Structure 1
């Protein structure tokens, strides 16, 4: 079969799958081909995550590789995961020995104390002032717990995700805030004018959106597709999610006339409409930023 015929057949299959409700079948096959290699190509995996949503059956595994929890070499992954579990158990046991935790300690606190102990920041007293890094950690815990069933996987993903955010995107919040205003103005200048008139533009929940990555604002079932993009190296997706939230609830926001009421609403948006918001946000991201060109 010549190349033109192959392309035609591939395009036909894609249209057919989408019409009968199997959108993503071709993408899943592309990912499976990538994962068959003995050594996974990190750049291609990142490109896949930028272009498509990860199938749920592969998401945790791919995240663990992209976040450096597991190596890209398949044959060494089981051995490395054994070491990760041993380290988890050792740190957990150490906290029990020094009586920082027991069976009644909430899991979120257990994970935080483990994180603090490993980073050399564990306080001698359990009553202390929370640092911004700890607040971020707990916000991510609250969402990641609902995405991941296994405690060892969950802890390692939280710890490395927070480190990823801190090392890759620490200085991005101000740029994201400026980009948010720029792109929102392109999409709806009247909405921007209303926010400015209410003195709300500078007081929107940017920390929740861009620092905590919508943890606690959007349900995990929708948010995990946004975090696919973050894990694979793009933080700009966050500003387009924020923009799409405002566009979706434009009528509600336009009816509010002060920054406090606007913030209160945006921090707790209705959760029954978030999947379409994420779909539109990803489309908006691709519209303004393009799609990675190199193939997977």
Structure 2
């Protein structure tokens, strides 16, 4: 990972808490000083103290949920994180009203499952999930609904024949936009590729999600052109082959630079 020039947000986070050794790109150097996820203060001398407070807060929330019987020893960790997040956000439902997770909660759970593959410590994992989700909704909540149209525009520039096929087959309106744009490809891309995408999102751009989706469509153009039913297109795109995803992300970043220059905080 240390030799990867594309940098990932986990490296950025661990360097922020004192594990040095990876050379930073200038743009991320500036972002780290601003603490893009807001987890740690800019002064390294206070990291240990703040880290202790974070751990105590985590334990307090956990114990409160156990006392209220929202969670127990058999509750999956991702559902624990969801209840913790709901409690802190003051949207925790009554115990008698808890039901199967709705679409928004499923988005959170998908991001949580992906984050667990990246971060081992549960305290760090929860804080990263919480801050990532909050930052994404705060910065990009108004932009996300417009990303499908943006994808359509760039696809018309790169491969109009594929765009017409998706339109004519009825698949365009049914593409897995939630998986791509609301879940930021959690559950679609493996961890090694996903963290490169999330790094760009944390750095300040949700438009990278459009170009990853665009490159997926371009990479599997021949297969997609041979599928005439929208459900077949959706099924394939929700289960893309995992062995080629790093190349897809690399090409997506190239497309991002092609259309957006060299954005640092581009939306």
Distance (Å, rounded) in 2 between the aligned partners of 1:130 and 1:63: 36
Q: Considering fraction of residues, name the structure with more helix.
A: 1
Within-5 A mapping of 1:115-126: 115-125=85-95
CA deviation vs aligned residue, 1:164-183 (integer Å, no higher than 9, x gap): 11111111123211110111
Alignment of 1:270-289 (within 5 A): 270-289=241-260
In structure 2, do the counterparts of structure 1 residues 216 and 23 end up closer, same or farther at CA, with 3 Å as the change threshold?
Answer: closer
How many aligned positions are there? 252
State the shift of 1:23 in Å.
6.6
Cα gap change, 1:63 to 1:234, in 2 (>3 Å): farther
Q: TM-score, length-normalised on structure 2?
A: 0.86
- Cα distance in 1 for residues equivalent to 2:153 and 2:259: 11
Compute the TM-score of the two structures, normalised by the length of structure 1: 0.78
- The aligned residue for residue 130 of structure 2 is 159
Partner of 1:47: 27
Question: Which residue of structure 1 aligns with residue 175 of structure 2?
Answer: 204
Could you list the runs of 4 or more consecutive aligned residues of structure 1 that deviate by over 6 angstroms after TM superposition? none
8 Å CA contact retained: 1:63, 1:231: no
Q: 1:70 to 1:228 in 2, by over 3 A?
A: same
Asked whether the equivalents of residues 180 and 213 of structure 2 are also in contact (C-alpha less than 8 Å), the reply is: yes
Q: Deviations over 1:78-123 (max 9, x none)?
A: 2111111110010011112222222211101111111111112222
Instruction: Write the mapping of 1:1-296 to structure 2, written as runs, cut at 5 A.
Output: 24=5, 47-48=27-28, 65-125=35-95, 127-128=98-99, 130-292=101-263
Deviations 1:220-249 (A, max 9, x none): 111000000111110000000000001111
User: Offset of 1:133 from its aligned partner?
Assistant: 3.2
Change (3 A) 1:46 1:205: farther
Q: 3-state DSSP class of the match of 2:35?
A: helix
Q: Distance in 2 between matches of 1:284 and 1:139?
A: 26
Structure 2: segments with no counterpart, 5+ residues: 17-23
Distance in 2 of aligned mates of 1:49 and 1:253: 40
Largest Rg, 1 or 2:
1
Question: What's the offset of the Cα at 1:50?
Answer: 11
What 5-or-longer segments of structure 1 have no aligned partner? Answer: 1-21, 37-43, 52-61
The two structures, once aligned, show a CA RMSD in angstroms of 3.0
